[in-house]
Structure 1
Amino acid sequence: MNIQALAFDTGGTVLDWHAGLVNAFHRVGARHGITADWHAPVNDWRRRTMKGIVGQVRPDFHMDDVHRRVLDDTLAQFGFDRLTAADRLDLWRAWHELDAWPDFPAALAALRAALPVVSFTMLPVSLVVDVSRRNGIVWDAIISCEMIGVYKPHAEAYRTAARWMNLEPAQILMVACHNFDLNAAHQAGMRTAFVRRPEEWGPEGPPDPLPNMAYDFIIDGFDDLRRAVLAPSPDR
């Protein structure tokens, strides 16, 4: 397998968005004496955001805009209308303050010593910059669908990312915990690695926890990915 670079989905594969947002809701709710099961509104917020951004073609907005717009709908749905504009801004900013999954930074550094590593994501560039600096993550490039103007899972997004990396799609290993992303990458000609993230959606569990096709790698974490990719191979 002639892997020349790795492209990482970033939102759920690299970042523990659920825990970060639950903590933010706890913090904001405490200001008003509100206690609640915050897992449900956090996941509702995520679902509404994904519905508003996946598959967009040349929109006049990016994912941060969707985060802010649909937050009001989630708060109304769960009866948290009394949260103030300042509270809502704090919740929105929490996306820029997320922690990476603990096994990611060290594994990425080891992989980057051997191969180029790219964040290929639907998240806006500013968000990826902020969370990367927070977590000590160094990429060789950030390729956001915001830059391309076409959002996953459109084939144009994957083909454009490969072209910008000056590689054939088959030379790129797309790493993600989401079947829709990997299936589209496979259709575009990329190699694929499914990383299990059973805690991505908190206690509820992810909507697609199991691989739905025969990916090139199916692994439990980034240490496994590091070992698999960096193992001696006659192809490289």
Structure 2
Amino acid sequence: MQVKALTFDTGGTILDWHSGVCSAFQKVGQHHGISLDWHAVTNDYRRLAMKGIVGQVHPTFNMDDVHRTALDEVLTKYGLLQLEAQERWQIFHAWHKLVCWPDFPAALARIRQKLPAISFTMLPVSLVLDVSRKNDLDWDAVISCEMIGVYKPNPQAYLKAAQWLGMEPSEILMVACHNFDLNAARACGFRTAFVRRPDEWGPEGPPDPTPHPDCDVVVDGFSELAKLLGV
């Protein structure tokens, strides 16, 4: 497969958001002696946040803002309004401290020996900066939908990313574990690679685990992706 660059979804494809955010909920809950299904709470939080950002066009907010608003909503839903401001901040800030999937850093280094690797994400730039430094991830570029002003899966986001890279969409391989992202990229002319992340949503499992048959590449991990790219 001949491509000139790879663009990576980052929030779930690269980062283990469920473990990081769930751990923050558990820690705060333990302090208050609260016992809940924190995995379910975490996933509800994620769903609310995604609902608030997906497809937005020129919003006056970014995903950090959505994470704050969605947190208030989920705390209300689960009767957790006794959490203090500092505790809410600890849960919110967990997004900026996420750990990446263990198979990614080495594969990223291998891929970058041959091709540019770009974080193409709905996450805000400040969050990508924080998690990239924490996990020693060296990107060739970061393209956040915050910078474009249009959020995936709106076609304008993908086309603008290709324009900024100076490439035709067909010269770019979009890498993600979510069909909605890959389907939208493919409709814009991108090549697509589905990387399975069965643990993304914790014990519940991902809501859409079966790759679309039109994906150019389907792999179980990033090392396998690097190998297919010849590195």
**Band the TM-score falls in, shorter-chain normalisation:** over 0.9
Deviates more, 1:39-48 or 1:204-213: 204-213
Q: Which moved more, 1:57-66 or 1:222-231?
A: 222-231
Write out aligned runs for 1:37-48 (5 A): 37-48=37-48
Q: State the distance in 2 between where 1:153 and 1:104 align.
A: 24
Please state how far the C-alpha of 1:81 moved relative to its aligned partner. Answer: 1.2
Q: In structure 2, how many angstroms separate the alpha carbons of the residues matched to 1:14 and 1:141?
A: 15
Q: Offset at 1:34?
A: 1.9
- Unaligned 5+ residue runs, structure 2? none
Following superposition, the deviation at residue 33 of structure 1 comes to 1.9
| Aligned counterparts, 1:88-127, within 5 A | 88-127=88-127
- The CA deviation at 1:214 is 1.9
SS at match of 2:174: strand
**Residue 10 of structure 2 corresponds to which residue in structure 1?**
10
In the alignment, does 2:167 pair up with 1:171? no
**Runs ≥4 residues deviating over 6 A:** none
- Number of aligned positions between the proteins: 231
In the TM superposition, what is the alpha-carbon distance from 1:189 to its structure 2 partner?
A: 0.4
1:171-210 per-residue CA deviation (whole Å, 9 max, x = no partner) reads 1000000000000000000000000111100011111001
AA matched with 1:155: P
Compute the displacement of 1:106 (Å). Answer: 0.5
Q: Does 1:198 align with 2:198?
A: yes
Write out per-residue CA displacement over residues 89-118 of structure 1, whole angstroms, 9 at most, x where no aligned residue. 110000000000000000001001111000
Q: 1:20 matched to which residue of 2?
A: 20
- The one-letter code of the counterpart of 2:48 is R
What residue identity is the alignment partner of 1:134?
A: K
Q: d(CA) in 1 for partners of 2:102 and 2:47?
A: 24
CA distance in 1, matches of 2:174, 2:22: 28
Deviation track 1:56-93 (CA, whole Å, cap 9, x = no partner) reads: 00000000100001101101111111111111111000
1:132 alignment counterpart: 132
Distance of 1:113 and 1:30 partners within structure 2: 45
CA distance, structure 2, for counterparts of residue 114 and residue 166 of structure 1: 18
Question: How far does residue 212 in structure 1 lie from its aligned partner after superposition?
Answer: 2.3
Structure 1: gaps (5+ residues): 232-236
2:162 aligned residue: 162
Q: Which residue in 2 is equivalent to 1:78?
A: 78
Question: How far apart are the structure 2 equivalents of 1:197 and 1:38?
Answer: 20
Q: Deviations over 1:28-56 (max 9, x none)?
A: 11221222220011000000000000000
Counting aligned pairs with the same residue, the percent is 62
CA distance in 2, matches of 1:164, 1:72: 36
Counterpart CA distance in 1 for 2:167 and 2:130 is: 27
Aligned to 2:144: 144
Question: Residue 143 of structure 1: SS of its match in structure 2?
Answer: strand
CA distance in 2, matches of 1:92, 1:191: 34
